[in-house]
Every structure is written in C-alpha cells, then in structure tokens.
A and B are shown apart, each in its own frame.
Chain A
Amino acid sequence: MTFSRRSFLAGSSALALSSAPIIGRAQGSDKIIFASILDLSGGLDIYGAPMAETTKMAIDDINAAGGLLGREVELKLYDAQSTIQFYTQYATQAAAGDRAHTVHAGITSASREAIRPTLARFKTLYFYNTQYEGGVCDYNCFCTGSTPAQTVAKVVPYAMNKWGKKVYIVAADYNYGQITAQWMQKFVAENGGETLDVEFFPLDVTNFGPTINKIQTAKPDFVISALVGGAHVSFYRQYAAAGMMKEIPIASTTFGVGNEQKLISAEEGDGIIASYSYFEGADNAVNTEFLQRLEARLGADRPVMNELAVRSYEGAMLWAEAVKMAGTPDRDPVIEALRSGLTYNGPSGAVTIDAQTNHCNMNVYISELKDQTWNIVESFTDQPPADTQLVCDLVANPDQSTFLFENGLAAAGIE
C-alpha cells in the first residue's frame, strides 16, 4: 500500500473524529475545575504564599459542605515563580488543558494584563483578587480587590489631616505604581494639598539612600508609598535606619499586603498608616470564626491575614455562590448570576458585585501599625469602585475586554 498525503489526511482525520468523544467525556467528568495561578516563589511570594493558603482553604470548605451541585471541586494550583512568562503558559494550560471552569490568578497588574486576554479568548471565567489601580473593563473578568477610589481616597485625606498638606510620593516603576501615583496626586490636589515630588523605582532596586536624601531636602509633611516586592522592603529599613520614621511619617497603599510589618522590626514600622478592605481587626463574627479555623488548620505560626489573602478566599466563595445560583458551572450563566448583584458575607464584611464594572462594593478600613500589628482607626462600609465607574459601563456595553487606565488617567479622560 502506498502512503499518499491524501490517505494520511483521511486516516488522521478519522483518528481525530474517533478521539473526539473521549475529550467530550473528560469535559463532562464529575469534578468542577478551579485553577489558581499565583507567585509562590521569587520576589513576589510575600503576596502569593498566603493567597494560596486561603485559596486551598476555600476549596476545602466548599468540598466539606458537599461540593457544588453535588460535584467535587478540584483545585489546580500553579506557581508562576514571579515570572510573567509562566503566567501566560499556565493560563493557557488551565483554560485549554485543564478546561478549568474558573481561573483565579495574578498578583501584579503586569501579570493580570498578561493573562486577561488569553482567558477572554478561551472564554474562561477570570477572577483577579488583588487590590490594584482600577480601570479593567472586561465582561469575562471580575476584579474583587479594592481600587484607589476605595482606599487611596480614604488614606490621603486621613494622613493630610493628621500630618499636613505637603506630600512626597514613592512608587514601583510599572503600571500599578505609575497609575496609583497619578491617583495619589489627584486626591492630594482635591484635598487642597501639594505633591512635592514623585519618584519611581524598578522592582530590583535595593539602595534608597539618594531618595532618602531628597526626601530630607524636600521636607514633606509625610511620604506616601506604593512600593512593591521583597527588594523594596529595603526602603522602610533604610528610612528607619536614617532616623526618618519619627521625623517624616509614612502612609502606604502597598505596605502590609505582603505582611511587610513582619519583615521589619517593631521600632522601624511603628506609626505607618495604610488602608485596605481587610485587616485582622475587622470586627465581625465571620472574621473571628474564619481566623479560628485558619489557626486550627495552619497552626499558631499561620501567616497574618491581609486583603489579598482574605479576598482570595472571598473571591472563591463569590464564584461558588454564583455556581449554586446558576445551577451550572458553565461560564455564561455563572457570569449572569454574579452580575445580578451577588453578595457574599466574608471576613472583611459584605462584598457585593457591581454589575456596571464587574468590581465589588466592599468595606474599607484605615489602620495604624504598632508593634507589628495593625490597629483599625477608621472604617467605611459598602464603598463603590467609583474610579472604574467613571469610565466603564458593562451594563450598557457588555462586549468589552479592555484595561482603560493602560496609558494613565489623562488618556482615560480623568482630570
């Protein structure tokens, strides 16, 4: 028998056809697949490791309560190793290989923007459970973390009332830091203050000496920081070592979500102010019970809970509620259920999906650091994602998958 191209094609397509039912069976298997991609090693693991713990806890809780729709939920956890390239690779693996029903992934905004288009293309429901700079307008993507209008807008006036009106901004040099710094300048100006200078740092900078000199020269009333990652923790150490902590205090939009308060000594950190949608001191029964169960699970040396870790738990639970409501784990009905104004009462309080933006209304807290522990000094309930609402309307136009603040706030039409 001669082996012509035509007979090869005929043979291989027959093979493809006969294997199709096998793929069909795999898809219709009993388990519901929940994929998670986080940085569990490398410089960003200070954020990723606690998020992975709470994600595992959420899936165990769901399965302990009998699973979803009588089916077990299986967690596929990937370590992106603080490398963007692995995010794209694992997102494709999760969507095409595992056929995940939902993917909860990403820590930095750079990683989110690397995988969001991939998951939109594969029509795989995507949750981003990290506080970020706002502006994602994507029908397929739910951003459950806090955004600047929820946190920065609270901490800036609080710090200005407490310390004064002259502000110096230090931030990480990528889209999160750049855009958050613009929000900071906007809120400082709106509250009648003055931004003396803004400085950006690549993620691997460890020597902050020249900047500390510049801060002393500029004499601001306080410094506000959006520094990111393990190397940037050096800023707080060197700032404290130069005796600056007592002279010019610090407020931050990132300090604490990597449990940085545990990486520097008590004296170095005392007095730092931050604002997030969760602190361990959040006063509600769900939180007390959540922390007790976490401690039973991981022992007394469990990681301290922060917004990223708790929102990873709540994000998984929001998705689970939506699956129950929809009666199926398929994407379109689940998205509809989520966008019906779904609420989950989690450790941080009530978290409600806002259909206009696919973001969340949530509680927001301001805390001050004392002896490596956050003490809540002010709380706000049910805060809307007002920044993203300015530019995004998924009710009027659901067919969107864009990041509107990609080129800064001015380009998005925000003054």
Chain B
Amino acid sequence: MDLVVAVLFQLIYVIANLALISLGLAIIFGMMRVINLAHGEFLMLGGYTVVVATNMGINIWVSMLILAPLVVGIIGVIVERLLIRWLYGRMVDTLLATWGLSLLLVGIVTSIFGASTATTVSPPLGAVRIGAYSASGYELFLILITIALLVAVWLTLRYTKLGLLARGTMQNAEMASSLGVSTSRIYMITFGLGAAVSGLAGGLLAPMTGVLPTIGATYIAKAFITVISGGASILAGTTVGSILLGGINGIFSFIAGSTFGEIALLLAAIILLRLMPRGITGRFFRKSL
C-alpha cells in the first residue's frame, strides 16, 4: 500500500515536472507560434538567477518565486523587442533566430560563470514520510506550485482583459488591431509572460538538478514534445500531454529503468502524433483553453 502511494507520488511528480518545464513554451510556441529554441536557456537563466541571488544572501523563496520570473521576464521583453517582433508569422525564421539566441545565451553565461556546475543551493524542505517510504518534501511543493501555476494562467487567460486581448490578438491580429488593440504591445507582454513562466520553472528546478550553462538542452526536447503532443489548446494540451507522456515515462522508468522510460516517452509521442497529427487537443477538448 505504501509502495503504491510512493510510486503514485513519484508519477505525479514526473507529470508535474513535465508540465512545469513546458508551460512557458506552450505560451510562446503554442499560443504565439514562435518556435522558441531558446526555451531551455530561459529555464537555465531562471536557475542562475536563483543561484546568484541566494549566494548574495537573498532568501531562497524570494529568489525562486519572485526574482527568477522577474529577471527572465525582463530578458524576454528585451528579446522580443530586439529580435522576435520582426519575425511574427515567419516560423522558420523564428527557429533560426532563437537557435542563435540560445547559443548566445549559453556563451554569455559560460563566460560569466564558467562552464562548471555552479550551485550549492539545496532543496529548502526536508523529507516527508509515506508509511515505510520517504519522499522529498520539495517535490510535493513543486507538484502544488505547478497546479497553482496552471490555474493562475487559466484564470488570466479566461477572466482578465489582458487574457481576452491576448487570445484575440493571437487568433486574428488584424481584426484586433482594427478594433483598437495595440497588438505590438500585446505580443510583447505575452512573450514576456511566457519567458517569466519559464524563468520561474527554471528557478524552481535549480535546487533539484543544479544548473549548468548547457542544462537547457536536457529540457528543450521534452518541452517541445509535450507542447506539440498537447496540440492547439495551450493549457488543456500541456496538462493532458504531460499526464500522458509523463505517466508513460514514470511507469516505464519504474519498471525497466530510466533509459527505457525515455524511450517509451518518445515512442508514445511518435505514435500519438501519427494518430493525431494536430495533437491531443486537435481531437479532444477542442473548445478548451
């Protein structure tokens, strides 16, 4: 019984982890159609923000929950103004530009902090007992905050004026513009928010994985696979995609080891996209956000 709970807990954590690293990309790629290959580097910058801030003596919760999204959000806005705004509607060009950006960010961080693993930040919560098993309290916290983040993004998109304008702009920019919406501002804010969510995710994961200038590479493929498998609806898609792929990954990792877990995840994504080329929400939950 304890084992079932412990394994279930671990499974939910794998799913939450996937949703957390994918959500920022879902906003930038799923919603704005910008193929952001620098997504992994946004996560990495969030991680470095936490490491630098805590080393300067700032409380770790403040660094993770406030500073990481703030710093990466600002970087996102700058990137949008300088680079992305010239490229809307040109998907292949965004791919090349953000790939270049990704290499640039890795290069800058490497030359400032060195190429080595730069962290002594530890998970700030102790262990929790599940009967005969123990699990990390910080993992529990990550699960809860991922749920909170999904709810917050849903509320913003569904019930705020900004959310309405953003959805309208993404659906039909010309129409929104002729109705008096400053689409250029909406694009900037949405991109900034997407970057901020990525920064938050990177900051939250830093104590679990440590940070390296090249750590983005371990996230980027999984994030894209999740968002593409999820399909057009960014929130429902990311959630369902994470549950399906994370679930498969977690179960196979437990049965056959993590190598097979990764293989199973990729196989599942290939089969899924063969059967549903427009992702899960291209067929199910079509009306959802």
Contact = CB atoms under 8 A, between A and B. Distances in A.
Interface of A: 40-43, 45-46, 49, 173, 199-202, 204-214, 216-217, 230-231, 233-234, 237-238, 240-244, 247, 262-265, 267-268
Contact of A49 (B116, B212, B254): B116
Contacts of A45: 115-116
B259 A173 contact: yes
A213 B133 contact: yes
A272 to B, nearest CB: 15
Chain B CB within 10 Å, residue with most, of A213, A243, A244, A268: A213
A49 B259 CA distance: 29
Given A210-B10, A213-B10, A230-B210, A205 B258 contact: yes
Contact of B13 (A40, A202, A209, A247): A209
Nearest to B7: A213
Given A200-B259, A212-B10, A216-B6, 11 more contacts: A41-B110, A42-B115, A45-B116, A209-B139, A233-B117, A237-B123, A237-B210, A238-B136, A241-B122, A241-B139, A264-B120
A247 B134 CA distance: 10
A201 B259 contact: yes
A216 B207 contact: no
B138 A210 contact: no
A263 B210 contact: yes
A205 B260 CA distance: 12
A217 B254 CA distance: 11
B14 interface: yes
A210 B208 contact: no
A27 B210 CA distance: 47
B133 A216 contact: yes
Interface in B105-141: 110, 114-117, 119-120, 122-123, 125-127, 132-139
Contacts of A205: 258, 262
B3 interface: yes
Given A40-B115, A204-B217, A265-B122, A213 B258 contact: no
Closest 8 CB pairs of A and B: A243-B127, A41-B115, A241-B136, A210-B253, A241-B123, A206-B209, A265-B122, A210-B254
Given A207-B14, A210-B261, A242-B134, A264 B122 contact: yes
A169 B138 CA distance: 25
A214 B254 contact: yes
A200 B110 CA distance: 29
B217 A210 contact: no
Interface of B: 3, 6-7, 10, 13-14, 17, 110, 114-117, 119-120, 122-123, 125-127, 132-139, 207-210, 212, 214-215, 217-218, 250, 253-254, 257-259, 261-262
27 contacts: A40-B115, A202-B262, A204-B218, A207-B17, A207-B209, A207-B258, A210-B254, A210-B261, A213-B6, A213-B7, A216-B6, A230-B117, A231-B209, A231-B212, A237-B123, A237-B207, A238-B136, A238-B208, A240-B122, A241-B122, A241-B127, A241-B208, A242-B134, A243-B127, A243-B134, A263-B210, A267-B122
Contacts of B212: 43, 230-231
A247 B14 CA distance: 24
Nearest to A40: B115
Contacts, number: 121
Contacts of A46: 116-117
Chain B CB within 10 Å, residue with most, of A209, A217, A231: A209
Contacts of B134: 216, 242-244, 247
A234 B210 contact: yes
A43 B138 CA distance: 25
A263 B7 CA distance: 28
Given A202-B258, A204-B218, A214-B254, A242 B135 contact: yes
A242 B127 contact: yes
Contacts of B132: 216
Contact of B210 (A49, A173, A214, A233): A233
A230 B215 CA distance: 9
B218 A262 contact: no
Nearest to B211: A230
A22 to B, nearest CB: 38
A209 B10 contact: yes
B115 A211 contact: no
B253 A206 contact: no
Contacts of A242: 127, 134-136, 139
A118 to B, nearest CB: 25
A49 B118 CA distance: 14
A206 B212 CA distance: 12
A217 B3 CA distance: 7
A49 B210 CA distance: 18
A210 B258 contact: yes
A244 B250 CA distance: 20
A43 B214 contact: yes
Nearest to B119: A263
Contacts of A173: 259
A124 B172 CA distance: 66
B122 A201 contact: no
B214 A42 contact: yes
